[in-house]
Amino acid sequence: MSRTVIRNGLVVTATDEVLADVLVDGEQVAALATPESGQADTWADGAERVIDATDRYVIPGGVDAHTHMELPFGGTFASDTFETGTRAAAWGGTTTIIDFAVQTVGQSIREGLDAWFAKAEGNCAIDYGFHMIVGDVTDQSLKEMDMLVGEGITSFKLFMAYPGVFYSDDGQILRAMQAAAGNGGLIMMHAENGIAIDVLIAQALARGQTDPKYHGVVRHALLEAEATHRAIQLARVAGAPVYIVHLSALEALAEVTAARDSGFNAFAETCPQYLYLSTDDLGRPGFEGAKYVCSTPLRPAEHQAELWKGLRTNDLSVVSTDHCPFCFKEQKELGLGDFSKIPNGLPGVETRMDLLHQAVVDGHIGRNRWIEIACTTPAKMFGLYPRKGTITPGGDADIVVYDPNAGQVLSADTHHMNVDYSCYEGRSITGRVATVLSRGKVVVDGGEYLGRKGDGRYLTRGTCQYLR
């Protein structure tokens, strides 16, 4: 087995910051020791590789619990494949993704899941797991959910939005939550009132309001808050925990906060786009706002302070990306003249770790919290801890050596995601990935990609480890 020693770095986890040397043996972390102990000299003897991490952080690889590689949406497909998207993730210091397999109406869950296994297998640069989108809650689907939990797919996404596509009604949602209460699964909810939103879309288009900015107007913050409230109450009735995905509105956050204050297991994630972008971007001149069309939508900038606060108080527990890129040319352009036809989604899997480090630089969160929301909590939430999400003996050696002082400018010219624009074009940030290990193998180092497709393995997950 090959051994790697990472010396003199500041090892940062969700709980600790300590100057330490790390021994990687094969695919796992074997030991940590203080530099003064001299232990690393012994380890370095016969090691295949010694990495000098002086003045750098040594952090767990990122866990992005919300990606959509190759997702079919609105008559096209998300432009990153499992190959290109996971490679871009590695470049950005993320070593685990949990993507969404899709069951469509009339299809069994098994058929949907098998199709996603086939897309991912042999193509991923980093380890990957799946949540299951349950698009058709039927007696059969409910039985299949029990089977999936037994097989390590322990989380299920439902939609209160997109009538006629992924939408579930309240009765279907309640039944799925009851099933989760029995089998230990975690229901993830896209919380927007899609029935009401569709009325507002039709009214806006009838008034000739076709520009991208109207996407943000019709997907009203109160319709996110209403659906969030309803999802939480249905979960309480069913006796199941609930996880709200891509929360963007402060009114929706207030619903999660109230539920958590009453002791209920409600959790929520937000995404970097809601922390750094706003309706100002959606309203950019011409059709450029289409680059910023995602659902839930970007909100006015004043929501951002509440989201940062929610991250500090743990009413927001996770930051994932909802990575779902569509090229501006030809894909976003499907919605020229009709904002409702713009494919919903943004690229982000490569920039999450850096943007959250920038939040440390800016003083929004501390270093431990950076690691907690980006690595540790997502691993616990979705049953991967401590194999993923921290640096501990016996855990997978998914490790990022991070240079906190290096500057970089985000741009489509230099990113590795398969999409023709960056949401953060020209933005200067501080900090960047130096070296990435995925299960002990160096996959990124010194500006070079050293891995290959198929390095990443499928992850069988346990049930949620984050319940109170």
Binding site for Zn ion (CB under 5 A): 322
Omega of the bond leading into 392 within 30 degrees of 0 (cis): no
C-beta of 324: minimal distance to Zn ion in Å? 6
Omega of the bond leading into 386 within 30 degrees of 0 (cis): yes
Question: CA of 22: how far to CAs of 25, 37, 54, 134, 374, in Å?
Answer: 10, 12, 13, 41, 21
> Which residue's CB is nearer to Zn ion, number 43 or number 267?
267
Question: Residue 100: phi, psi to the nearest 5?
Answer: -115, 115
C-beta of 294: minimal distance to Zn ion in Å? 9
> Which residue's CB is nearer to Zn ion, number 157 or number 220?
157
Location of structure tokens 């500057």: 407
Q: How many residues does the chain have?
A: 468
Rounded CA separation 133/465 (Å): 21
Tell me if 127 sits within 8 A of 451, measured CB to CB.
Answer: no
Rounded CA separation 234/170 (Å): 8
Rounded CA separation 180/66 (Å): 19
C-beta of 216: minimal distance to Zn ion in Å? 17
Token duo for residue 121 = 């297998």
Q: Which residue is nearest to Zn ion (CB)?
A: 322
C-beta of 224: minimal distance to Zn ion in Å? 14
Instruction: Judge residue 357's burial from the number of C-beta atoms within 10 Å of its C-beta, 0-12 exposed, 13-18 middle, 19 or more buried.
Output: buried
259-269 burial: b if 16+ Cβ within 10 Å, else e: bbeeebbbbbb
C-beta of 67: minimal distance to Zn ion in Å? 8
C-beta of 131: minimal distance to Zn ion in Å? 10
Angle at 105 between CA 104 and CA 106, to 5 degrees: 110
> Which residue's CB is nearer to Zn ion, number 64 or number 322?
322
Rounded CA separation 408/427 (Å): 8
C-beta of 253: minimal distance to Zn ion in Å? 18
Contacts 24+ apart (CB under 8 A), 446-455: 449/87, 449/90, 449/91, 449/416, 451/87, 451/90, 451/125, 452/125, 453/83, 453/87, 453/122, 453/123, 453/124, 453/125, 454/122, 454/123, 454/124, 455/124, 455/125, 455/126
> Which residue's CB is nearer to Zn ion, number 281 or number 322?
322
C-beta of 58: minimal distance to Zn ion in Å? 31
> Which residue's CB is nearer to Zn ion, number 7 or number 323?
323
C-beta of 342: minimal distance to Zn ion in Å? 16
> Which residue's CB is nearer to Zn ion, number 73 or number 339?
73
> Which residue's CB is nearer to Zn ion, number 192 or number 372?
192
> Which residue's CB is nearer to Zn ion, number 57 or number 292?
292
Going through 342-462 in order, the beta strands assigned E by DSSP cover 399-409, 428-438, 441-445, 448-449
> Which residue's CB is nearer to Zn ion, number 77 or number 264?
77
> Which residue's CB is nearer to Zn ion, number 83 or number 322?
322
Tell me if 200 sits within 8 A of 214, measured CB to CB.
Answer: no
Tell me if 434 sits within 8 A of 403, measured CB to CB.
Answer: yes
> Which residue's CB is nearer to Zn ion, number 153 or number 399?
153
Token duo for residue 168 = 């579930």
C-beta of 249: minimal distance to Zn ion in Å? 16
C-beta of 320: minimal distance to Zn ion in Å? 9
